């Protein structure tokens, strides 16, 4: 009984950390498509086209980048094609380097 009273006192007097998400919509501008493209290009430089493509499979990520579903349906095949081209180029370079040694 005494332990419960002590614990209640500790719980009610302990300051709580601020963990609430700021959900205010004040002065939030929707990024334009140039900003979105620049962000995707930066993501590709930091990781790889394949990882960015995989990340963009998430509707939440696309939504945060303001890529609507209709636009994604047009972009997705083009991105797949570009990734395949890049993979092919990388494989050719590796084979050339392997053949030179």
Residue 52, number of CB atoms within 10 A of its CB:
20
What pLDDT score does 2 carry? 55
pLDDT per position as a tens digit, 4-21: 555 565 555 555 555 545
Place of tokens 């030179």: 100
Q: Are 31 and 62 in contact (CB under 8 A)?
A: no
DSSP, residue by residue, 54-100: HHHTSHHHHHHTT--HHHHHHHHHHHHHHHHHHHHHHHHHHHHHHHH
What pLDDT score does 92 carry? 92
Which H/E stretch holds residue 42? Answer: helix 33-46
pLDDT per position as a tens digit, 28-82: 566 677 787 888 888 888 988 888 888 888 988 888 888 888 888 888 888 888 8
Residue 40, number of CB atoms within 10 A of its CB:
19
- Is the pLDDT confidence value at 22 over 70? no
What pLDDT score does 64 carry? 83
Tell me the pLDDT band of 87, cut-offs 50, 70 and 90.
confident
């Amino acid at each position: 009984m005494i332990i419960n009273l002590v614990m209640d006192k500790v719980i009610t007097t302990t300051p709580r950390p601020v963990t609430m998400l700021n959900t205010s919509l004040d002065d939030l501008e929707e990024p334009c498509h140039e900003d979105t493209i620049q962000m995707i290009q930066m993501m590709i430089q930091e990781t790889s086209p394949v990882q960015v493509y995989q990340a963009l499979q998430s509707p939440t990520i696309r939504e945060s980048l303001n890529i609507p579903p209709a636009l994604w349906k047009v972009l997705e095949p083009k991105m797949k094609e570009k990734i395949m081209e890049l993979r092919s180029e990388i494989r050719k370079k590796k084979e050339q380097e392997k053949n030179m040694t």
